[in-house]
A = this chain, B = another copy of it.
Amino acid sequence: MTAEIICVGTELLLGDIVNTNARFLSRELAELGISVLHQHVVGDNAGRLRALVTAARARSELLVFSGGLGPTADDLTRETVAEAFGVPLAFDEVQWQHIVDFFARTGRAPTPNNRKQAFVPAPGGPSCALPNAHGTAPGVWLEDAAGHCAALMPGVPREMEAMWREQVRPRLEQRQSCTIRSRTLRVLGGESSIASKAAPLFESANPTAAIYCKVGESEIRVTARAETAAAAEAMCDAYLEKFRAVLGDDAYDVDVPGLAWTVVRVLKEKGLHAATAESCTGGLAAQLLTEAPGASDVFGYGFVTYAEAAKRQLLSVQDDILKRYTVYSGPVAVAMARGAAQLSGAELAVGITGIAGPGGALPGKPVGTVYVAGFDARSGEAWLYRLALGGYGERPIIRTRAALYALDLLRRMALGLPAPDARHLAPEAPFAEMDI
Q: Which residues of A contact B (CB under 8 A)?
A: 12-20, 22-30, 36-43, 48, 52, 55, 210, 212, 276, 278, 281-287, 289-291, 293-296, 299-307, 309-310, 313-314, 343-344, 357-359, 395-396, 399
Contact = CB atoms under 8 A, between A and B. Distances in A.
A306 B310 CA distance: 19
A276 B278 CA distance: 14
Given A16-B27, A282-B295, 17 more contacts: A13-B37, A14-B30, A14-B36, A15-B25, A16-B212, A18-B18, A37-B42, A38-B41, A39-B39, A40-B40, A276-B283, A278-B283, A282-B283, A282-B299, A283-B290, A300-B306, A300-B307
26 contacts: A12-B22, A12-B26, A13-B30, A13-B36, A14-B30, A15-B25, A15-B26, A16-B210, A17-B23, A18-B20, A19-B22, A19-B23, A37-B42, A38-B40, A38-B41, A39-B40, A282-B286, A283-B287, A283-B304, A286-B304, A293-B357, A299-B306, A300-B305, A300-B310, A303-B303, A313-B343
A101 B25 CA distance: 40
Given A293-B359, A302-B304, A306-B299, A39 B25 contact: no
A12 B415 CA distance: 39
A401 to B, nearest CB: 14
A285 B20 CA distance: 29
A278 B399 CA distance: 20
Given A22-B41, A41-B38, A310-B344, A287 B290 contact: no
A27 B14 contact: yes
Contact of A395 (B27, B42, B291, B314): B291
B314 A306 contact: no
A66 to B, nearest CB: 13
Minimum-distance CB pairs A-B, first 6: A282-B290, A302-B304, A300-B307, A15-B27, A283-B283, A15-B26
A74 B26 CA distance: 20
Copies in the complex: 2
Q: Which of A48, A283, A302, A313 has the most CB of B within 10 A?
A: A283
Contacts of A16: 27, 210, 212
A278 B287 CA distance: 10
B37 A43 contact: yes
A23 to B, nearest CB: 5
B14 A26 contact: yes
B30 A23 contact: no
Contacts of A358: 293
B48 A42 contact: no
Contact of A276 (B18, B30, B304, B314): B304
A28 B13 CA distance: 11
A259 B40 CA distance: 36
A294 B359 CA distance: 8
A211 B364 CA distance: 46
B306 A296 contact: yes
